[in-house]
Copies of this chain bind each other. A is one copy, B any other.
Amino acid sequence: MIEVECQIAIKKEGNCFLNLIKTELLNEIIQCGSLSGAAKKLKISYQHAWTMIDEMNHIAPEPLVIKQRGGVNGGGAKISSYGMQILNEYKLIEAQVKKLMSQINVDINL
């Protein structure tokens, strides 16, 4: 079966700071409240998760994730309000892209 897919990338001055895997990481941070929990859930290393966050925070106009020190579990991570705003925007874009893709996948003749 032939199918067309579209991968969304949100960029600032040509540098991507948000794509599918990064939104998954942000959503897992919301669920778990920590970067280590989110990394475990996505089956990636803590180092890999940290590198992705670092990249996002540096490229985006404002940090998307705020690291919190201390506490019972030795610190956590939470999404900034800008992070929440961009996650919502990504969902809206994703819905529009999915709608177009399903139209294209009906019409496609390959």
- In A54-110, the 8 Å CB interface with B consists of 61, 85-86, 89, 93, 96-97, 100, 104, 108-110
Task: Determine whether the beta carbon of B110 is less than 8 Å from that of A86.
Answer: yes
Task: Determine whether the beta carbon of B4 is less than 8 Å from that of A7.
Answer: no
In the complex, A40 has a CB within 8 A of chain B: no
For A5, list chain B residues within 8 Å (CB).
8-11, 16
A96 interface neighbour in B9, B10, B104, B110, Cβ under 8 Å: B104
Task: Determine whether the beta carbon of A8 is less than 8 Å from that of B11.
Answer: no
With A9-B7, A109-B89 already in contact, the answer to whether A2 and B61 are too (CB < 8 A) is yes
- For A85, the closest partner residue in chain B by CB is B110
For A89, list chain B residues within 8 Å (CB).
108-110
A10 interface neighbour in B2, B61, B86, Cβ under 8 Å: B2
